Structure 1
Amino acid sequence: MAFILRQSTRCLPTTSRLAVVRSVSCSSHLQAPAVQAKTKKTLGKPGVKNVVVVEGVRTPFLLSGTTFSDLMPHDLARTALQGLLNRTNIPREAVDYIVYGTVIQEVKTSNVAREAALGAGFSNKTPAHTVTMACISSNQAMTTGVGLIASGQCDVVVAGGVEFMSDVPIRHSRKMRKAMLSLNKAKTIGQKLALASRIRPDYFAPELPAVAEFSTSETMGHSADRLAAAFSVSRVEQDEYALRSHTLAKKAQDAGYLSDIIPYKVPGKDTVEKDNGIRPTSMEQMGKLKPAFVKPYGTVTAANSSFLTDGASAVLLMSEEKALAMGYKPKAYLRDFVYVSQDPKDQLLLGPTYGTPKVLEKAGLTLADIDAFEFHEAFAGQILANMKAMESEWFAQNYMGRKTKVGAPPMEKFNSWGGSLSLGHPFAATGCRLVMAAAHRLRKEGGQYGLVAACAAGGQGHAMIVEAYPQ
């Protein structure tokens, strides 16, 4: 709590809103930026293989409990993999390795990468493994692929992520699990009856999953509310930002910009072709919602938080040399990236603040060099708290060991096709969506560099530079 108390009294300006927050209005940034001339140098490095994104796809991101509710995680992952194969026409045997991310694992398919790959028709000779790193799991999958290619181990890697919140595992209590395991080992009916007689009613209480930190036992929503309070982010500011996200996402959806989505014919149901969580409303309607976590005075609500989502994504990564040899025109280069980690109690969601300056410095770029910012929107309050942290000289000097502030991204370049608040957030699938959004925006807007950043449970974070491929 020391961080919060000091932060709330010393780090912030006395005015209730920073200039960066004032710029987050719903009406002033709906136009796409003007096409920019490409005058910047490339980030290719001598002696290091260029790794490119050839293509990326995703299933529609759907609210949990809706059309995908009767499926399993590997169904969504398989569909994304099949969609990638169909869109690229790459021979299955040309893929050297598959890496997939997931957060809440289905125990029947613990290595969902392998099960989905087999289901999608990949060769049983193609290795596949699953990674987990909370909301940056597919970021980890992609950078694992980058490492495999850059080191010369592979030429072609498929990376992706899947999350299925419609059917999360619910466990028996530990007492019941121990009793059931003992019963399974009992050899005689007498032994079984004796063990069964020890079972008490409280054994039957299930252990329900929660989006909570193991180290602090605090739900992420509570952490978001405390972070918003520490940085003086008001309820109105959060609702304004959430409305901006939904408004921009709807515009992008209507304009056909969300081209990474592949239609999915759900067995026994209709074909799903678009995300179903995009719901522009009004400030008045959003203002009627009660706090979701810290009651009655909290500012985080269902309307300014990302929602539980089902979905999967996949990207095709290659060495540039291999992609060109196979006749592909890549979408973008994946360049420098960093992972960061902070205190999960007071700085749980500040990954972008810490990751952004590190990846810029590593790449030799400045904030002004970035044409498209794609940050994961866990909560509106989280995004705005990061913006204020980036604009704070005091925070930079006292918590980041920096002489000057990071500086906040200009909102006209920031998440201009919507974000996780509106498009949805299947935990392990979001990273690939961020990278493809950056790549597509750069091509559409004529920019050269994109910066992808995300926070994750455990106080971790990720940031990466995406460079547009010459058209």
Structure 2
Amino acid sequence: MGMNGTVPPGRRAAVVAGLRTPFVKAGTDFKDLSAVELGALVVNELVARSGIPPKEFDSVVFGQVIPSPTVTLIGREMVLRTQLPRSVQAHTVARACATSIQTTTDAADQILLGHSDCAISGGAESLSDAPIFATRALAQALVELSRAKTLTDRLRLLSTLRPKDFAPQPPALKEPTTGLTMGESAELMAQRNGISREAQDRVAYESHRRAAAAWEGGKFDGEVMHVPVPPRFERVAAKDNVVRKETTLEALAALRPVFDRRYGTITAGNASPLTDGAAALVLMSEDKARALGMRPLGFVRSYAYAALDPRDQLLQGPAYAAPVALDRAGLRLADMDLVDMHEAFAAQVLSNLKAFASKDFAAKELGRPEPLGEIDPAKLNVNGGSIALGHPFAATGARMIVQTLRELSRRNGQYALLTVCAAGGLGAALVLERE
């Protein structure tokens, strides 16, 4: 917004196009593609499908959560590896699972300020290509070996190493401040908030049922590109391979808990899987869209980010961010035609929904006289969520935005709320509007 809290004429940030790859389980169809390669594929295809001349783009904001061992600036690589002019400036963003919400609000802010007219936002992730690190002892020894002058010096350095020093170190999956994985934190949330296993499995079942129906109904055909599968390129990945059309509540109930084998409620069935994929959006100023004859899918109305102590309820960030985003939009939860809540875990979704509706939470945690309210299940994650569709960390937000705006159009709706929980006790909320 402008300095007086209003949007300057013609500067509203319009989402005019969006596209994603299929989201596939790590280690399957995209195991030979890096995050950078997946991102470049979707950006190239998005620019081509949009019909916008590449020279019209002036910025790229792109993200990645799990770092690549060879590429640190994925944003700039989206320019250098695609048909975009190399003069297009770019930067890279990481905000855990809310990364491509952040890339989109960054791009929207630049448009609002008049610093950009036509931008690409998005993110890509390859859990198949996650970096493997050396132990600190081995890394330090290798550095010193490169400086050693004699064979004697090299042998002396090598003699200080122990077998355990050669063990590969995968990326850390635990919160540094708590020592707990996200799944372990979600288990604690389920216990604290009284979230049952049956309720979690019901969320997972609905996610798969709705995602399968959306695919069968052709809803995703216009927003998911086809990707030839390397290395032989003899077949094409055309759909998400996580969706389980035939799953049942009984099948979900038969799965064993993962994080607390004895008393836990979180399983591989009611949690999002490790996923590879990429998604991107084109944003323009309202004036620019009009000048190019582009019809916006919708506009960024408002957003908010929030944080809480990770030692409390790690994934409860949406319950703190959503009220602020709605306040900034001048709207209420009841005004929303759709709500899309990222499904990291069914337990996290249910915990946040409970907080939304809790007068006690509103008073004690938010200092508000009334709760945000309850969400009509018929408006929530209507075409499935991350449990069924998959969750390539940096791509999920962009997937949610294009998926929600297209559904809003089908329903002739006006407003939608998106929320994402993220590592570190972070939360994001975004209000979209359509005219």
TM-score calculated relative to the size of structure 2: 0.96
Secondary structure, in 3 states, of the residue corresponding to 1:108? coil
Query: Which contiguous aligned blocks of 4+ residues in structure 1 show a shift greater than 6 angstroms?
Result: none
**Pairing 1:185–2:147 present:** yes
Is there any run of 5+ residues in structure 2 with no aligned partner, and where? none
Contact 2:135–2:166 (CA<8 Å) still a contact in 1? yes
Stretch of structure 1 that moved more, 205-214 or 277-286: 205-214
Supply the distance in 2 between the matched residues of 1:272 and 1:64 (Cα, whole angstroms).
13
Greater mean alpha carbon deviation, residues 117-126 or residues 225-234: 117-126
Give a deviation string over 1:185-213, Cα, whole Å, max 9, x none. Answer: 11222222221222221211222224321
Give the match for residue 106 of structure 1.
Answer: 68
Question: For 1:124-273, what aligned pairs fall within 5 Å after superposition?
Answer: 124-258=86-220, 259-267=222-230, 268-269=232-233, 270-273=235-238
Q: Please name the residue that 1:78 is paired with.
A: 40
SS at match of 1:310: strand
Aligned partner of residue 276 in structure 2, secondary structure: strand
Contact 1:44/1:50 (8 A) holds in 2: no
Deviations along 1:110-169, one digit per CA (max 9) or x if unpaired, are 111222321112222111211100000111111110111111111111001011001211
Equivalences for residues 49-88 of structure 1 within 5 A:
49-88=11-50
Matched residue SS, 1:422: helix
The alignment status of 1:397 with 2:366, answered yes or no, reads no
In the alignment, the residues of structure 1 paired with residue 351 and residue 397 of structure 2 have an alpha-carbon distance, to the nearest angstrom, of 21
Residue of structure 1 in register with 2:242 after alignment: 277
- The range that moved more, 441-450 or 123-132, is 123-132
Task: Determine the C-alpha separation between the residues in 2 that align with 1:425 and 1:99.
Answer: 20
Aligned length: 427
Aligned CA RMSD, in angstroms, stands at 1.4
d(CA) in 1 for partners of 2:10 and 2:173?
39
Shift of 1:284: 1.2
Code of the aligned partner of 1:414: L
Q: Output the CA distance in 2 between the equivalents of 1:69 and 1:44.
A: 46
Contact map agreement 1:163 1:429 (CA 8 A) in 2: yes
1:451 and 2:417 matched: yes
1:357-399 alpha-carbon deviations (Å, 9 max, x no partner): 1111111111111001111010011101111111211122112
Find the aligned partners of 2:81 and 2:380 in 1 and give their Cα distance: 37
- Aligned AA (1:229): Q
Distance 2:111 2:324 in 1: 23
| Amino acid across the alignment from 1:236 | E
Shift of residue 44 of structure 1? 7.6
1:372 alignment partner in structure 2: 338
Unaligned stretches of 5+ residues in structure 1: 1-42
* Residue range with higher mean Cα deviation, 214-223 or 393-402: 393-402
What SS does the corresponding residue of 1:152 show, helix, strand or coil? coil
Amino acid at match of 2:171: P
Using the alignment, how far apart are the partners of 2:162 and 2:385 within structure 1?
Answer: 47
Structure 2 residue 55 is the aligned partner of structure 1 residue 93: yes
Q: CA deviation at 1:94?
A: 1.3
For the residues of structure 1 that align with 2:122 and 2:47, how far apart are their CA atoms? 13
Separation (CA, whole Å) in 1 of partners of 2:90 and 2:139: 31
CA distance in 1, matches of 2:388, 2:28: 16
Structure 2 CA distance, aligned partners of 1:47 and 1:327? 18
Instruction: Report percent identity of matched pairs.
Output: 41
2:292 corresponds, among 323, 326, 337, to 326
**TM-aligned CA deviation for residue 408 of structure 1:** 2.3
Q: Deviations over 1:244-298 (max 9, x none)?
A: 0000000001101113101111231311111110013111111111111012110
